[in-house]
Amino acid sequence: MSISSTWPSAICSEPGGGGGGAGGGPPPPPAAARRGRVRAFVALTALLAGAGGRLGWARVYATQQEALARLFPPPGVVERRTAYLSEEQVRRVGELSGEPQEHRVVPYYVGVRDGGVVGYAFTDVHLVRTLMESVLFAVNPDGRIRSTEILSFDEPQEYLPGPRWLDQLKGRPLDEGLSLKRDIRTLSGATLSARAMTGSARRVLALFQVIVTEEKGGEPVAGAAVPSDRSASRGSGTQGDRP
């Protein structure tokens, strides 16, 4: 785990020499005072680092490349592909998922082993409350969620969905049960996080349906059987790589 933020590369420049010189500048502070300032700065830096999540700085848990390597380890290979959605396909994704799809260019990944496809992966970047989250969804060839991994989370740490909550998404297809109104339990004190993640899962499965299943002539699913868990005004969509 690392905290993505910018820190000063140096504390200050130490004046050279002894007391005030011909330049008329003030004499440097005593060594003990300088050491005290350094210790205070280091302590403040550590405090801010520990509070990074609460202050809204992005926490990066894994890169996309690391997550893909875990999903599709050697001797398998990962192929990066890009889908260019038509207006009709964008409309179709929204119809299937009940979630907005704002991006027509959708990169995704295909895991291949021994000449056969073993799975797909989509990165979805979306708004949670007022800040962003990046999630990598793995989808089995049958259109069910294989796994969900949070790559980065900009909101305070207390709103982060934990592994036990994410486990309930495993094996889920795009159906009426994939909703906080049905089979997905909410997060106490973090309803917007649960809503954002569930909507993201529905959007990714709808993209899989439109890009993979229907392009291959497969049987289309019926569409969003329940109202969306989140308002369309909180729109987002699967997009480019992050982080």
Asked if residues 144 and 172 have their Cβ atoms less than 8 Å apart, the reply is: yes
Instruction: Point out which residues pair with 81 in neighbouring strands.
Output: 108
Q: Quick check: is 184 in a domain?
A: yes
Amino acid at 143: G
Q: Specify whether 225 is located in the same domain as 119.
A: yes
* 233 domain-assigned: yes
Residue 104 lies in a domain: yes
How many domains does the chain fold into?
2
- Evaluated on CA atoms 48, 49, 53, 56, the torsion sign reads positive
54 in helix, strand or coil?
coil
Count CB-CB contacts under 10 A for residue 42.
11
Asked whether residue 44 falls in the same domain as residue 135, the answer is no
Q: Does 152 share its domain with 39?
A: no
Residues 201 and 90 in one domain: yes
Q: pTM (2 decimals)? A: 0.70
Say whether both 46 and 115 belong to one domain: no
Host H or E run for residue 87: helix 87-97
Question: How much is the pLDDT for 181?
Answer: 94
Are the C-beta atoms of 201 and 87 separated by less than 8 Å? no
Residue 167: Cβ-neighbour burial (10 angstroms; 0-12, 13-18, 19+): exposed
Residue 126 lies in a domain: yes
Structure tokens at 216: 């291959």
**pLDDT 10s digits, 185-239:** 999 999 999 999 999 999 999 999 999 998 776 554 444 444 456 543 344 566 5
With beta carbons less than 8 A apart as the criterion, state whether 136 and 166 touch: no
Residue 9 domain-assigned (yes or no) = no
Q: Which two tokens stand for residue 234?
A: 């909180």
Q: Do 49 and 133 fall within a single domain?
A: no
The string of pLDDT tens digits covering residues 80-133 is 999 999 999 999 999 999 999 999 999 999 999 999 999 999 999 999 999 999
**Structural domain that includes position 125:** 59-238
Same domain as 154, residue 73: yes
Contact 238, 101 (CB under 8 A): yes
Q: CA 207, 208, 209 angle in degrees (round to 5)? A: 90
Same domain, 149 and 179: yes
Same domain, 44 and 121: no
Instruction: Count other Cβ atoms within 10 Å, centred on residue 75.
Output: 7
Q: Are 43 and 121 found together in one domain?
A: no
